[in-house]
Amino acid sequence: MSIDVLITDRDLNVLGDPLDGWTRLDVTLRFNEPSSGTITLPADPDAVRHIAAGNRIVLIRDGQVLASGPIERPMAPYQRGLPSGEGGEGADDPEPGTLTLAWVDDLAHLSWRLVRPNPSAGVDQQTASHYELTDDAETVIRALVDLNLGPSALEERRVPGLILGDVAGVGSTVSVRSRFGTVLAEAQSMAIAGGGLGFRTRQVGSQIVFEVYQPVDRTRTARYSWDLGNLRSVTVEQAAPAITHAVVGGQGEEENREIIERADEAAAAAWWRIEGWVDSRHEDTTAGLQQSGDEALAEGGETVQIAAVTVDTPDLRFGRDVGLGDRATIAYRPGVDAAEIVRQATIQATPSSGEYVSLLIGSQEATQDPEWVVLARRIRRSLQRLETGTDVPAPPPP
């Protein structure tokens, strides 16, 4: 294990030496969501003077940048000395204390930008009702990023150093119609509708590269099992779908409102028929309604979640042989294999014990978040679409 942690300013200039003396490192990498991390270290004056609002953390693992992004909590918490009553109050404390830094990776910038109907104009100069684009999913996602926080954005909205990577040429045709939704939420929807694409930011030198990619099916080569010695523990959970038949409502009122149905017949046959209402009054085309229904089916489908503590081996190492979004196989019981998507990777490290890598492998909605957090996230997405969508048109005059 080789880990280096750097601090940079917002323009990606390295400040001081690599952080030294850290005692614990936790980083959680997420597929199509911002990753995050914490690091605990001595509050050494040379390090503390570079820890400030606007600066960034760069985590390098075995010579490669694993995660990088803005510091969210420069001193959370800072601790020095013993709690009251332990060792006596007012005792001399020559030690510098410890602090824990928390940061998020650069993908968080997508959640900090809203999609303007006309990204090239100020918020008080908007004349269009929505931003609309129909193209392959990669092109749509790249355009959302480019126009709202990338090189083509208004100068005050650009993320320093952010560029678009090479075109991968992936994704099926999708349509976006957004009015002040977050770039991240729209990109996530387009990635699902476009064929399960992935997107990420990577720091390369003095630039932050945003790229869209097609995850790889590595079920034959990325295999975790007790026999191979690369599986330390595993927990498996399976839940029925929340919806198998999406009834999607578009624009209009009462009997004049366009309503369609999208179905996952395979899920209904395996479990049972579960109908759900999808309010998509912001969509004005049948294709848009179909896309909304398909997204609801993907988000509310059967959940298979496998949380496994894995062991990197010379033959299979996370970040080299398998990555976020790839399909991997876990043989968690004799003769029973599960092939699902790598949704999350958590790396915990200490200088004395080395690192532990745990993977969350599962279907679309697999997550280690509590159920109430997942529900709140779904409600927030639904409300955002209604609040920023097109008003329901008035009925035609008699």
Chain segment 380-393, per-residue pLDDT in tens: 555 555 544 433 33
Return the residue matching tokens 């270290």. Answer: 41
The residues, any chain, with a CB within 8 Å of residue 315's CB and separated by 6 or more, are: 321
Q: What is the largest CA-CA distance in the chain?
A: 86
Residue range 69-86: average pLDDT? 63
Residue range 182-187: average pLDDT? 94
Domain ranges across the chain: 3-79+98-104, 111-214, 223-239+303-362, 245-299
Residue 397 has pLDDT above 70, yes or no: no
Identify the pLDDT of residue 80.
54
Confidence of residue 370 (pLDDT cuts 50, 70, 90): very low
Least trusted range by pLDDT, from 71-80, 93-102, 247-256, 352-361? 71-80
Q: What is the pLDDT of residues 244-266, one digit of tens each?
A: 999 999 888 878 888 899 999 98
The residues, any chain, with a CB within 8 Å of residue 17's CB and separated by 6 or more, are: 46
Q: Where does 26-153 have alpha helices with state H?
A: 45-48, 137-148
Residue range 57-68: average pLDDT? 91
> Whole-model pTM?
0.76
Residue 197 has pLDDT above 90, yes or no: yes
In 3D space, the residue among 111, 123, 262 whose CA is nearest the CA of residue 193 turns out to be 262
For residue 273 the two structure tokens come to 């028929």
Identify the pLDDT of residue 362.
75
Confidence of residue 367 (pLDDT cuts 50, 70, 90): very low
Alpha carbon distance 137, 127 (integer Å) = 26
Confidence of residue 166 (pLDDT cuts 50, 70, 90): very high
For residue 132 the two structure tokens come to 């609309």
